[in-house]
Amino acid sequence: AAPIAIATALAVGGAILAESTLSFLGLGIAPPAASWGNMLANAQELVFQAPLAALWPGLAILLCVVACNLLADGVARRGR
């Protein structure tokens, strides 16, 4: 069960990165729907007027992906 949990946690982190990247490039979720990639794309125009508009979605992506990786690492260490 541990290898499945590790693969799942790593896949979730990869899916978050893939979705946010595609949404940032305009190939992901349609703009009325909320997405961290859409938020970053919209904040790109306002980065000098409102830098926090780009900081918070980027920080949320970073924290979620790091949390998924740490979860996978914790499961791997416990499985030894």
Task: Report residue 14's pLDDT band, with 50, 70 and 90 as the boundaries.
Answer: very high
Helices 52-79 and 2-24: crossing angle, nearest 10°? 160
- The pLDDT of residue 18 is 93
CA angle 64, 39, 8 (to 5 degrees): 25
Say yes or no to pLDDT of 67 above 80: yes
Closest alpha carbon to 65 in 3, 1, 21:
21
Computed over every residue of the chain, the mean pLDDT equals: 89
**What is the tens place of the pLDDT at every residue in 28-64?**
888 788 889 889 888 988 888 988 988 999 999 999 9
